[in-house]
Amino acid sequence: MSAEETIVEVPAPSRSYEVRVGCGILDSIGEVTRAAAGGERACVITETNVGPIYANRVEASLAAAGYTVSTLTFEAGEQNKRLSTLETLLEGLAEAELTRDDVVVALGGGVTGDMAGLAAAMYLRGIQVVQAPTSLLAMVDSSVGGKVAVDLAHGKNLCGFFWQPSAVVADVECLHSIDRSLYTDSIGEVVKHAVLADPQMLADLTARPMNGEGYPDELVARIVAENVRIKRDVVVSDEKERGLRQTLNLGHTIGHGIEAASDFKLGHGSSVAAGLCCMARAACAKGWCKPETRDAIVAAMAAQGLPTDTELPHDVVFDYMTHDKKRHGDTMNIVVPAEIGAVEVRKVTMAELRELVDLGCGTGKED
Ligand code: GLY
């Protein structure tokens, strides 16, 4: 382990693996893949924005570790996270003659990790995947925990598996090439993790926003590693989202409604930020949390420049919320911030959910 690297062990029931977080560690991917996954052939799956920047380094590192390397590049963008792209990737893996002993290396953000992970899960009924996340969202959330999926016309991530990676290499220097607004958007998920489990991180993020000028890479790496630990603690005790893992959906029920109602013009992290603040206001109005808890959440999101409310019509937001895949018949489990570092899962009816939208959305000016 280099001085700049933190290793977080993830002993998930279906596979144990290490998440490595550090500055300038991308070139260790060959060595890490060799130790974690073995095999003869490695296929890098990446997209048209990330591939031109980092694929050469990853290919060279894998080749130096003794792999026969191929690369598949798909057109960047959530709109391409579809079964048609997945089919092309699967044909590419077959064309590159990967066997059951070989490995896929997912190089990119959340879309790449989800799709490359799903390709690995399906190809030959499952081969190993190493995740090399290059966006903040992928580092703190989607590369860890094994959720892999593509979108259907009916909604995001409706077709997928739980397929844990064999290793994750998160080089925070890759964040230098990320669009600033995308980086800021992803901080919504970081703040969510802090609300879930780390009052000190929430206070630190509020006092010194992560997207502020001169924020050092070493501090970003520390926060990423802390986020991975928070997610790890949830995922290892509930890999398949039967209970505790639902808490990671904090902010997502109203957030998904806002994201879809905005026609996906508002980013995922920003939608989660607004959704979490709306839920905090609604929870406070219901007496489920104290005003201090609500205010701390709103202040942390506002400090990052993230939205804390929505002006979208309640009917439209609610309508999209009811199509959420977490709905069970006429009820839905919602995650409520009881206090910073402690959340509660509550089962509510659709009528109660609608009341929460009315209490929490568009009411921020009253805070
Ligand atoms: N992003 C939530 C989860 O992985 O369960």
Quickly list H helices, the chain: 29-37, 51-64, 83-95, 110-122, 136-137, 180-197, 199-207, 217-235, 252-261, 268-285, 291-303, 314-321, 350-360
Taking 90 as the threshold, does the pLDDT of residue 2 lie above it? no
In terms of Cα–Cα distance, which of 334, 236, 341, 326 is closest to 293? Answer: 341
147 in active site: yes
For residue 56, report the distance from its CA to the centre of ligand 1, in Å: 30
Confidence of residue 367 (pLDDT cuts 50, 70, 90): low
The pLDDT of residue 54 is: 98
Longest pairwise C-alpha distance within the chain: 62
Is 323 assigned a catalytic role? no
214: burial class by Cβ within 10 Å (0-12, 13-18, 19+)? exposed
Ligand 1, atom 3: nearest CA belongs to which residue?
248
Query: pLDDT band at residue 82, thresholds of 50, 70 and 90?
Result: very high
pLDDT band at 282 (very low <50, low <70, confident <90, very high): very high
Share of residues in the chain with pLDDT > 90 (%):
94
Cα–ligand 1 centroid distance for 141 (angstroms): 7
Residue with tokens 């959704």: 275
Eight-state DSSP code of residue 307: -
What tokens were used for 14? 């279906």
The SS3 of residue 86 is helix
Of 232, 252, 281, 294, catalytic: 252
Ordered DSSP codes for 169-214 = EEEGGGGGGS-HHHHHHHHHHHHHHHHHH-HHHHHHHHHS-TTSTT
pLDDT at 228 over 80: yes
In this prediction, what percent of the chain has a pLDDT beyond 70?
98
Give me ligand 1 centre to Cα 249, in Å.
7
Which of the residues 41, 81, 147, 232 is marked catalytic?
147
Q: Of the residues 34, 229, 268, 281, which is catalytic?
A: 268
The question of whether 125 is a catalytic residue gets the answer yes
Residues 152 and 82: their CA atoms lie apart, in Å, by 7
Average pLDDT over residues 131-135: 98
193 flagged as catalytic: no
Pull the structure tokens for residue 301.
């999101």
CA 147 to ligand 1: nearest atom = 4
- Determine whether 229 is an active site residue: no
Report the separation in Å between the CA atom of 255 and the middle of ligand 1, taken as the mean of its atom positions: 14
Distances (CA, A) of 85 to 43, 79, 125: 16, 10, 18
State pLDDT tens for residues 290-342: 999 999 999 999 999 999 999 999 999 999 998 776 677 789 999 999 999 99
CA 187–ligand 1 middle distance (angstroms): 15
Nearest-atom number in ligand 1 for the CA of 245 is 5
Confidence of residue 154 (pLDDT cuts 50, 70, 90): confident
Residues contacting ligand 1 via CB (< 6 Å) = 141, 145, 147, 245, 248
What's residue 325's pLDDT? 66
Measured from the CA of 145, which atom of ligand 1 is nearest?
4
Nearest to 168 by CA among 126, 240, 108: 108
At residue 91 the predicted structure's pLDDT band, cuts being 50, 70 and 90, is very high
**Residue 245 annotated to the active site:** yes
> Cα–chain-centroid distance for residue 249?
11
| Residue of the CA atom closest to atom 2 of ligand 1 | 248
Q: Is the pLDDT of residue 25 over 80?
A: yes
Best mutation site among 19, 189, 245 for ligand 1 pocket (most ligand atoms within 8 Å of CB) = 245
Per the prediction, the chain carries an average pLDDT of 96
Task: State yes or no: is 231 an active-site residue.
Answer: yes
Please compute the mean of the pLDDT values over residues 52-62 and round it to a whole number.
98
For position 366, what pLDDT does the model report?
61
How far does the chain reach from its first CA to its final CA, in angstroms? 47
pLDDT greater than 50 at residue 1: no
Q: What are phi and psi of 357, to 5 degrees?
A: -60, -45
Query: Distance, CA 150 to ligand 1 centroid (Å)?
Result: 14
User: What pLDDT, in 10s, does the model give residues 92-105?
Assistant: 999 999 999 999 99
Angle between helix 291-303 and 199-207 (nearest 10): 50
Catalytic, out of 192, 193, 229, 231: 231
DSSP 141: I
Cα–ligand 1 centroid distance for 142 (angstroms): 7
pTM of the model: 0.95
- Over residues 235-262, the pLDDT tens digits come to 999 999 999 999 999 999 999 999 999 9
Instruction: Give residue 254's pLDDT.
Output: 97
Q: How far apart are CA 278 and CA 299, in angstroms?
A: 13
> Looking at ligand 1, which atom is closest to the CA of residue 141?
1
256 is catalytic: yes
Pocket test for ligand 1, best of 114, 186, 248 (most atoms within 8 A of CB): 248
Mean pLDDT, residues 125-140 taken together: 98
Q: What pLDDT is recorded for position 110?
A: 96
Residue in 256, 259, 281, 294 annotated catalytic: 256
